[in-house]
Structures are given as structure tokens and as C-alpha cells.
Amino acid sequence: MEKKFDKKFDGISKRFDNMEERFDKKFDSMKTTIRNLEERFDNVDKKLDLLVSLSPEAVMQHVNPAFVTSSQLEKKAVLEGGESTWSFLKLDDGTLLAVGSVHCGLYYGSMHPTLAFVNLPQLVVNLGVEKIGFLQPNKIQNPIPYKYDVMLVQLKQSKLPDMKSGSPQKYQTLAASSKKKIRRVAGMSNSGIVSGNNVVFNNDGGYYVFVEDFGDIGNSGTLMFGWDGDFNDAKPVGVYNGIFPVGDKKDTTSNRPFSFHGNRPRGVIVPLPNPKECTWFEPLFQKKTATDTTGSFPTTCTIFDRKGVRLCNIFHNEDSNPASCFLEDGEVQWPGVLLQFRDENEKMMYCGSMDTGSRRCN
């Protein structure tokens, strides 16, 4: 009887031992599975963190660019399309620059052959315009080749007033032959973030093209930043020129982009030029500096809109006040400055028209 009991007990013990061994193996397997899951979750977290760090919102928050917001005074110009986003950059010597698009700054055409009115935000005018630089001004025609559709405004003041936007970034130029890859681009405009991806450089035209996520033709002049890794790599690339809708043909005169397949629009970025390669013009302040002007004092220069309709006269005084444009009722103002070209070789043929006609500013 005792032997039978011992035998049964030994059998039960072995079964328990086997069960314990099986539970141990199962537990070890579960621990391995849990570790694998934890590693996978960690990888997912890292990827999410990377995605967040590469998002346009995160990059713009990190970069915190300084740009000009439109005032109520400029509302009419905004509605007319004559106002764009202007951003601030600083040269190595501390010189403050405002950067924007030529087709916005020269939105209003001049009826005088050697005078040009540059439409600027009131804040830029208030900071004092020292001089304005263009990359080969004699190339600025109708339509403007993308490569030349960027302008630099050197300001007299080196510090900005308190603004809602951030601080001026360091001025940098990226060589077309640069091996540094740009995967994403983003910029802060008056209407929000402009962003996109799949950035390529058009060697023939001298501009960047990207698949656009957010943007609008009214965001022209927005300072765009490019990066490949995390947001610490984000650097100024150039100014946003506008959207190039899918399916449009290439214009051989302006060297516009080729047609693209797909449904998403393409955005265009004009690279920041080397300031030393620009032609600079001082604004026309004093009456005696005008060698070829229209009208009598105060010096006037008639401007018109893109349809060729006369808008108003530009008045500039002797007291170093910048030129301003008033409607005849005196209620609407376009702030800006007058530029005078020294000879025909410097004169820009762009007269505020987006069409491809041959009409000139004379």
C-alpha cells in the first residue's frame, strides 16, 4: 500500500516538475516577447519623436524667424496683391537686411523710364532704407526669371523693435553645387507656415522646386529654411516665389519649371544671392539728386497696376522722407522708396505685370 502511494506521489511530483518547467519556459518566452514589444515601442517612440522634430511646426518654432506682419495701413496693398512676406536676416558684420520677392516689391509699374517705385512694408521703411540690391537688374523683365526674383534691402538700423515674430537669422548662401541634402523646407508667412518636401535644384534655371504641402501664391517672399536631419540643421535657403500648378508648361523665356506628374502643386524657391554679386541702388530722397524726373517739386512719378490702370503719383520730398503713394483722396498709402537708375543698362524692364507681353516701363 505504501509503495503504491509512493509511486503515485512520485508520478504527481514529476507531473508538477514538468508543469513547472513548462511554465518557466512560457514565462521566459513571455519575458522575451515583452522585451521585443518594449524595443518595438521604443523604436516607434523614436520615429514619432523624429517625425515631430522634422515637422515644419517644430522647425519654425526652433528657428523662430523674424518677419514683417501686415498692418491695417497696408490692407489695401494686401488686397491688391502688392504686399508680401518680408523677413529679416543679418550679415556677419551685424548689418540688418530685409529680403523679399522682386515681383512684389516692384508690383506697381512706373511710367518713368529711369525711376522705379519699390513697395515695402511700413516697418521696413521705418527702419530706414540704406540701399536696395538686385541680382543683375537688367535681367528683371516680363516675366522675371526665377533666379533673379529676389531682392535685398539694407537697413540703416541694426536692431528690430519688439515684434511678435522672432529674431533675424544669419544670412547664408547655399552653393548650387553644395552636397548638403535638403529634404524638407518650411517658412513662416503672414498667413501661416509654407512647407513641402522632395526638394530638387534646377541647375538650368537656378532655383529650387519642391512638392508643396502648404502654400499660396500670396505667400511670395517668405524666407524658406531647408533641412535633412533634425531641426538643428535648418538653414535659410531662399525666398518662396509661389506655387507652380501641376500640368503647366515650361516657359522658355522665364525658364519656368517643366510639367510635373501627380496632383500636388510644386513650389519654387529662389536662392539667396551673394550680396557682393548684387547691384545696389540708394533710394532717391532729395530733389537735387533727381537728374531725370517727372513733374515739378515735389517730384512725382506716376504708377499703375498690373492691368495698366493709372493708380496715383509717387511723391518724394526733400526732408529725407521716403516716397509714398497716395490715392487722390489721400486715404490710401503704399509705403516704399523711389530708385533711380544711372543708365539704360541698369534699368529694369519689369513693370508690375505678370503677363508675358512686351510692354515696358517707359
pLDDT reading at 150 higher than 90:
yes
User: Between residues 124 and 116, which one has the greater pLDDT?
Assistant: 124
What would the grid cell of residue 209 be? 522646386
- Are 152 and 158 within 8 A, CB to CB? no
Give 256-310 pLDDT, tens digit per residue: 444 455 567 888 999 999 999 998 988 875 443 333 333 333 345 565 555 555 5
User: CA 291, 303, 253 angle in degrees (round to 5)?
Assistant: 95
Least confident stretch, 53-62, 164-173, 224-233, 263-272 = 164-173
Q: Parallel, antiparallel, or unpaired: how do β-strands 169-170 and 87-90 relate? A: parallel
**pLDDT given for residue 4 in this prediction:** 59
So where are the chain's domains? Answer: 2-54, 59-280
Give 296-307 pLDDT, tens digit per residue: 333 455 655 555
Residue 335, CB-side half-sphere exposure with 13 Å CA sphere? 20
Q: How confident is the model at residue 224 (pLDDT cuts 50, 70, 90)?
A: very high
Q: Helix 2-54 to helix 56-63 angle, to the nearest 10 degrees?
A: 60
User: Between residues 292 and 92, which one has the greater pLDDT?
Assistant: 92
User: Between residues 264 and 248, which one has the greater pLDDT?
Assistant: 264
From its phi and psi, is residue 262 left (phi > 0), alpha (psi between -120 and 50) or beta?
Answer: left
Give 201-210 pLDDT, tens digit per residue: 988 889 999 9
What span, in angstroms and rounded, lies between the C-alpha atoms of 84 and 293? 28
Q: How confident is the model at residue 361 (pLDDT cuts 50, 70, 90)?
A: very low
Least confident stretch, 26-30, 130-134, 346-350 = 346-350
Return the percent helix, strand and coil in the chain, to nearest 5: 25, 30, 45
**pLDDT given for residue 116 in this prediction:** 75
- Are 216 and 240 within 8 A, CB to CB? no
Residue 239 carries which side chain, given as an amino acid letter? V
Helices (H), the chain: 2-54, 56-63, 75-80, 102-105, 122-126
The stretch 320-329 carries a mean pLDDT of 48
**For a pLDDT cut of 70, what percent of the chain falls above it?**
55
- Are 183 and 228 within 8 A, CB to CB? yes
Give 51-79 pLDDT, tens digit per residue: 455 678 888 888 888 888 665 545 554 55
- Sheet harboring 109-110: ordered strands across? 109-110, 299-304, 310-316, 324-326, 333-340, 115-119
- Are 86 and 100 within 8 A, CB to CB? yes
**pLDDT given for residue 330 in this prediction:** 47
Helices (H), 193-325: none
What span, in angstroms and rounded, lies between the C-alpha atoms of 86 and 223? 8
**pLDDT given for residue 105 in this prediction:** 83
pTM: 0.71
Give 308-318 pLDDT, tens digit per residue: 555 555 554 44
What span, in angstroms and rounded, lies between the C-alpha atoms of 296 and 307? 27
Q: How confident is the model at residue 169 (pLDDT cuts 50, 70, 90)?
A: confident
Instruction: Please state, rounded to an integer, the average pLDDT across all residues of the chain.
Output: 70
User: CA 309, 241, 311 angle in degrees (round to 5)?
Assistant: 15
User: Between residues 138 and 276, which one has the greater pLDDT?
Assistant: 276
What span, in angstroms and rounded, lies between the C-alpha atoms of 78 and 83? 5
What would the grid cell of residue 41 be? 515601442
Contacting residues for 317 by C-beta, under 8 A, at least 6 apart: 287, 298
Can you list the positions of beta strands (E) in the chain?
A: 87-90, 96-100, 109-110, 115-119, 129-134, 151-155, 169-170, 184-189, 192-202, 207-214, 223-227, 235-244, 266-271, 279-281, 299-304, 310-316, 324-326, 333-340
Burial (CB < 10 A; 0-12, 13-18, 19+), residue 351, is: buried
User: Between residues 263 and 355, which one has the greater pLDDT?
Assistant: 263
**pLDDT given for residue 128 in this prediction:** 87
Whose grid coordinates read 509511486? 7
In 3D, which of 158, 133, 135, 241 has the Cα closest to residue 196?
241
Q: How confident is the model at residue 132 (pLDDT cuts 50, 70, 90)?
A: very high
